[in-house]
Amino acid sequence: MSETVSRARPRAVLWGKLGWHPAAEAWSAFAANEMTATPEIIEVLRKGKKSATYRLVGAGPSGESIIAQRSPAVRAAIERTVHEDILPHVPVRAPRYYGSWPESGSEEFVWIFLEDMGDDRFAATNPVHRSLAGRWVGALHVAAAKIPAARRLPDGGPGRYVRHLHSGRDTLRRNLKNAALDPEGVALLDRVVASLDSIERAWSRFENACNAFPRTLVHGDIQRKNIHVRSGANAPQLCLIDWETAGWGLPAVDLPKLDLTVYHTVVGAAWPRVGLDDVHRVAAVGTALQQVAAIDWVSPELGDERPVYLVRPLSWLRVYHERLVNALRDIGGMV
């Protein structure tokens, strides 16, 4: 077995008396009746404008580390639904969910507390990891399709990506007027807009390509940073984290990084209408949809009027467009 493992590193480490830290305060308030400790080390795993994730080292009831995740209330509601009402009823390994706590003095944010699964992450080049992911996601999709709580989640299927298509295309069209773009950059934006136009015209083909699949829980963001792999008693264990983008729908975007043959052995036993060819076609649809979303996310950066700051978003846009064209070719007859 290949032992290739991708390892995440904390962005920063805080030491000392840390009871003042918002993550430590929230954990202390949540676990007031438990034998917990104030952490002397807090690792900053992710810190954005609205979301953040911290490791509270040694703060758990038995001295274990706790993952404290700060999320906007709307996203936290999705996470809570998954951890409280879905994952306990599906046959997959998942982090222990301790619970949630509203941020002090705010109704806009919620803290969620989870088991620390370590720093080792999925490696797409490792066939064992891809096989584990195929089996894990397949079991999740089959079981969650029968759980009523999953139906309460937002749309997670192709319909979500129509909004990305419209938003990204509109932004690219506005940025075509940016005088800082050179002729090559303008030509790239034109090509991407043309591809998005062709996708919209053929949108029914995207949805029809997925129709062999039942609707189910969709994670929506299966990538390296959200897939933990750690050693088990007899074999590596894999699980997904970060369910803020989870939804209900046709699960195309969950498939591209999996071993699709292994995934099919799991779902095919429960969904006999789904053939291996269907799985490969839907995975290609998922890859295309991921690129549509990525184009939307990067497109605002193309409005910067300083040429030096356009180099990065143009390079990413070129990559996303190439992946999109290749995925459309795999779907068949769309390029």
pLDDT digits (tens, 9 = 90+) for 124-148: 889 999 999 999 999 999 999 999 9
Instruction: For the chain, give every domain's residue range.
Output: 6-121, 127-331
- As given in the structure block, the two tokens for residue 131 are 């096989």
Q: Which CATH architecture has domain 127-331?
A: Alpha-Beta Complex (3.90)
Q: Do domains 6-121 and 127-331 have the same CATH topology?
A: no
Alpha-carbon gap, residue 114 to 84, rounded angstroms: 12
pLDDT at 43: 93
pLDDT digits (tens, 9 = 90+) for 211-262: 889 999 999 999 988 999 887 667 788 999 999 999 999 999 999 999 999 9
Alpha-carbon gap, residue 122 to 223, rounded angstroms: 8
pLDDT of 7 over the 60 cut? no
Q: Which CATH architecture has domain 6-121?
A: 2-Layer Sandwich (3.30)
Phi, psi dihedral angles at 15 (to 5 degrees): -125, 160
pLDDT digits (tens, 9 = 90+) for 162-194: 999 999 999 999 999 999 999 999 999 999 999
pLDDT digits (tens, 9 = 90+) for 278-324: 999 999 999 999 999 999 999 999 999 999 999 999 999 999 999 99
pLDDT of 108 over the 70 cut? yes
For the entire predicted model, the pTM comes to: 0.89
Q: pLDDT above 90 covers what percent of the chain? A: 72
Alpha-carbon gap, residue 308 to 180, rounded angstroms: 9
